[in-house]
Each structure stands twice: as structure tokens, then as C-alpha cells.
């Protein structure tokens, strides 16, 4: 759609909506105005030369390259972590003030041992590469998510892609076989400890970590894992720091990656990766219902 047509449609929509809402309370008119502000804001980010402020973020391929070539840990921030920072609870984790404080601190990106991942598509969206349902989600939600995350970013620092762990359920027209094989280089022939909830692991048929030298599991609660943080942390510390720690515990994984890195461990917050690979190998549905089911599964 051309910019001229976009603004023409936008103006027509605004006239129709304002006429329909002419007699309702002023509060709703303010909400409508904010909606159009968000639409314009999102459009500016979708324009390659839009005059907007963007943090430095490596894309998903550059992020994986860095993970292969370095021994750094990674902590990834998505909409769930942003909600916690903003004082909200999410499905798998109740709001916790200390957790929110730790997440804000990690997002400032001051630990040289940890790569901090944020969503590349919040700031450099390529709508043509995203699945239509995902593109719709980003267009609706990205303005608010950016506003809530921006105050805590270190604008002089390098960030990485947070979504590299779930490309199958986000992107289209990709060579997923090649991409997943590239990812598997990170833990190839290494001793691995997977920290996740048992409910997730029990659903997996195709294990992306099957090329590791040795794989152990440490099971944690599928909800409110942060309430058991000390217990989880001590359990991980029973393993050698030569073990690669794979974390799949929502917001709790970010704090674990930060703390473990300071103790000489390499800890990778890989979130949805295990189920993303499994769903790809199974050829699972990626329409609206499929993506909704995917996002509702344990992390």
C-alpha cells in the first residue's frame, strides 16, 4: 500500500469513527486519538528512513553468529518481561517488585558477560517477512511496548534479537532447516543442563538438543518460578560451570542468566526454542489458532 493511499484510508476511517462517536463521552474520544497516534508512530518505524529513535540491535542471524563465536550468556526480553517491568502480572508469572527491579537492571545492558536480547521487530519491522497474524500483533502492540521499554534501554549499547528462538512461529518464507542446524552449533558435543518445567519437556517429540554430548534436566515450576528462585539457583550450582546451562523459565531465566554469568557459567535464555523446533518438525499449524495455542504453552 502506498503512503498516499494509507493516509487517505486513515483519514476516511477517522471521519467515520469520529462521526459515529460524536455523542459518546470525551474519554473515549481521547482513547481514539491515542489510537491514531499509535498508528502514525508504528508507520514511522515501518519506514526504513522514518525519523525515529532506534536502539542498536543485531538481527537474528547476527545474534546466532555471536552466540556461536563467543562464550557469552544471553537474556531475552519480550512482551512478558515488559509487562512485569510495567507492574503487570502475566500468565506464567505474578508481578513481583524485586523481579521487576532486576529486569530493569539487566535491560540496561551493563553486564559484559551477557548479551541482552530485545525484539528486533519492535524497532526494525519488516512486515513482509512476518506471518500475517504476527504482523497484526506487532502493529497493534509495538507502540505501547516500545514506550514501556525505552526508558530502561542503554542507547549507547549493543542489543541482540530476542526472537531468534521462535522464528518458525513468527516468520515466513525461510529455510528453517538451515537455520536450526546453524543454531545447533552452539551446544554441539557439549554437556548441557536444561532448566525448564516438566510439562514443556514432556510435550517434545523432536529434541533440538539431541546433538549435545550429554543432556541433564533440572525441572522448575511452570508458574511463578521466581518464587523458587533460590532453590533453582542452588540446584544449577550443583553442576560444573563447564556445563552449558539452557534456561526456559520466562522472566526468571533473565535473572538466572545474569547471576550465573557472574559465577562463571554460560547461561542461555532460549525461551520457546525447544517447542519452536518441535512444532516445525511436526509441521504444526501457523494460523491464528495455531499461534494462540503455541503462545499459551509452557515456556
Between 49 and 261, residue with greater pLDDT: 261
**DSSP, residue by residue, 83-125:** HHHTT--BTTB---HHHHHHHHHHHT---TTEEEEE-HHHHS-
7 pLDDT more than 80: no
Q: Give the per-residue pLDDT at 204.
A: 94
pLDDT tens digits for range 86-138: 999 999 999 999 999 999 999 999 999 999 999 999 999 988 899 998 888 88
Average pLDDT of span 68-94:
96
- d(CA 68, CA 61) in angstroms, rounded, equals 11
Q: Cα separation of 15 and 9, whole Å?
A: 10
Q: Which residue has the cell 502514525?
A: 40
The 3-state DSSP class for residue 20 equals helix
Q: State yes or no: pLDDT of 60 exceeds 70.
A: yes
Please determine, for residue 144, whether its predicted confidence score (pLDDT) is greater than 50.
Answer: yes
Q: Please state, rounded to an integer, the average pLDDT across all residues of the chain.
A: 88
Q: Strand, helix or coil at 76?
A: strand
pLDDT of residue 291: 55
- Per-residue pLDDT, 32: 47
Considering only residues 81 and 3, tell me which one the structure prediction assigns the higher pLDDT.
Answer: 81
Question: What is the structure's pLDDT at 263?
Answer: 96
Higher pLDDT pick, 30 / 229: 229
The Cα 276–Cα 296 span in angstroms is 13
pLDDT at residue 127 in the model: 84
- Which of 9, 40, 64, 7 lies closest to 178, judged by CA? 64
Rounded CA gap, 200 and 210, in Å?
Answer: 16
Q: What percent of the chain has pLDDT over 90?
A: 72
What's the rounded Cα separation, in Å, for the pair 61 and 83? Answer: 27
pLDDT at 29 over 70: no
Burial 248-268 (b: 16+ CB within 10 A, else e): bbbbbbbbbbbbbbeeebbbb
**Domain extent listing, the chain:** 3-46, 56-296
- For 36, 43, 121, the CA distances from 39, given in Å and listed in that order, are 5, 6, 16
Which helix (H) or strand (E) element contains residue 246? strand 244-247
Return the closest-CA partner of residue 135 out of 122, 146, 147, 144: 122
Average pLDDT over residues 149-162: 96
pLDDT band at 46 (very low <50, low <70, confident <90, very high): confident
Binning pLDDT at 50, 70 and 90, where does residue 47 land?
confident
Higher-confidence residue of 153 and 285: namely: 153
Q: Could you tell me which residue, 285 or 124, shows the higher pLDDT?
A: 124
pTM: 0.85
Q: Which of 291, 241, 287 is nearest to 264 (CA)?
A: 241
pLDDT, position 298: 44
Confidence of residue 293 (pLDDT cuts 50, 70, 90): low
Model confidence band, residue 18 (pLDDT cutoffs 50, 70, 90): low
Please say whether the beta carbons of 28 and 91 come within 8 A: no
Amino acid at each position: 500500500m502506498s503512503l498516499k493511499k494509507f493516509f487517505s484510508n486513515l483519514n476516511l476511517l477517522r471521519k467515520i469513527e469520529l462521526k459515529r462517536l460524536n455523542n459518546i463521552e470525551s474519554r473515549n474520544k481521547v482513547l481514539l486519538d491515542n489510537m491514531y497516534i499509535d498508528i502514525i508512530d508504528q508507520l514511522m518505524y515501518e519506514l526504513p528512513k522514518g525519523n525515529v529513535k532506534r536502539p542498536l540491535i543485531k538481527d537474528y542471524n547476527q545474534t546466532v553468529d555471536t552466540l556461536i563465536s563467543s562464550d557469552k550468556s544471553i537474556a531475552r526480553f519480550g512482551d512478558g518481561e515488559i509487562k512485569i517491568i510495567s507492574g503487570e502480572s502475566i500468565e506464567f508469572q505474578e508481578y513481583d517488585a524485586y523481579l521487576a527491579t532486576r529486569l530493569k537492571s539487566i535491560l540496561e545492558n551493563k553486564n559484559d558477560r551477557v548479551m541482552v536480547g530485545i525484539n528486533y521487530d519492535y524497532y526494525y519491522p519488516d512486515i513482509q517477512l512476518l506471518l500475517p497474524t504476527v504482523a497484526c500483533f506487532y502493529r497493534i502492540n509495538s507502540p505501547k511496548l516500545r514506550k514501556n521499554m525505552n526508558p530502561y534501554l542503554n542507547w549507547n549499547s549493543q542489543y541482540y534479537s530476542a526472537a531468534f528462538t521462535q522464528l518458525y512461529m513468527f516468520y515466513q518464507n525461510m529455510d528453517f532447516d538451515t537455520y536450526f542446524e546453524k543454531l545447533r552449533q552452539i551446544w554441539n558435543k557439549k554437556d548441557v543442563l536444561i532448566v525448564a518445567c516438566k510439562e514443556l519437556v514432556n510435550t517434545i517429540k523432536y529434541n533440538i538438543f539431541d546433538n549435545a554430548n550429554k543432556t541433564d534436566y533440572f525441572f522448575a515450576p511452570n508458574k511463578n518460578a521466581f518464587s523458587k528462585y533460590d532453590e533453582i539457583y542452588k540446584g544449577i550450582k550443583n553442576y560444573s560451570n563447564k556445563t552449558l546451562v539452557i534456561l526456559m523459565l520466562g522472566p526468571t531465566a533473565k535473572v538466572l542468566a545474569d547471576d550465573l554469568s557472574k559465577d562463571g557459567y554460560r547461561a542461555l535464555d532460549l525461551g520457546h526454542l525447544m517447542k519452536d523446533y518441535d512444532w516445525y518438525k511436526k509441521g504444526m499449524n501457523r494460523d491464528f489458532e495455531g499461534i494462540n495455542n503455541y503462545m499459551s504453552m509452557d515456556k
